[in-house]
Chain A
């Protein structure tokens, strides 16, 4: 079997705020929610897609110094990004916008051929959502 992606990680400062975005606005399903030592690891994924995203806190399982540095990078908006794909970009965008997410770019036909929008998750991570190819 060829190699496939199983799990990837997104650092978030607040798991509940992250659920408001990734579960309630984007529509991902929650597959696991583990608490340990005061931190949470929430596994989400797109229904029907066998790829998991673990939403975890910068300080979970790390030293204070490491956690502080990661949280600072996430908050400054320079650390990581994710690109999602959907059949109905405009409806998804309206839902994300209504959730109060910061909007970076409304749905736009990009010169390289895709239509997408850009927002920030509640922690400051860049999230782009693109329309599936018709």
Chain B
């Protein structure tokens, strides 16, 4: 078990940082800002976060942003507005990350039929539609 190497107090701090990312995804977050919420040095934070959650903090932030962008696109927002709304400043890197995680371009995703999601509360659809990336070997 890799997680057993982390203390419970570390896991608590990492959870706070993850909640912070979930909440502040649209802000221009860098590693130092995220590490501060966990009261850790950036290097220790990145390593521990990856150990606890299977992806780096930045990668988690981008996963969260793409998940929110998917919600905005389902509501009919334009691709460039969705990109800005989730805190991405470059349409190019937004689109390539979107494509990598979702398997299609933002415009292709926007054009799909999303009626099946209307009845689901967003806390559920957030998990159901969250892009999954394969875990990174430690």
Which A residues contact B (CB, under 8 angstroms)?
13, 68-69, 71-72, 75-77, 81, 102, 104-105, 110-112, 114, 118, 120, 124, 126, 128
Contacts and interface: CB of A to CB of B under 8 A. Distances in A.
A118 to B, nearest CB: 7
A72 B1 CA distance: 11
B1 to A, nearest CB: 7
A111 B118 CA distance: 10
Interface residues of B, number: 22
Contacts of A69: 1, 3
Contacts of A13: 8
Taking chain B's interface residues, is the majority helix, strand, or loop, or is none over half, making it mixed?
helix
27 contacts: A13-B8, A68-B4, A71-B8, A72-B4, A75-B11, A75-B12, A76-B3, A76-B15, A76-B18, A77-B15, A77-B19, A102-B16, A102-B19, A104-B22, A104-B23, A105-B23, A110-B122, A111-B122, A112-B118, A112-B120, A112-B121, A114-B121, A118-B123, A120-B19, A124-B12, A124-B15, A128-B123
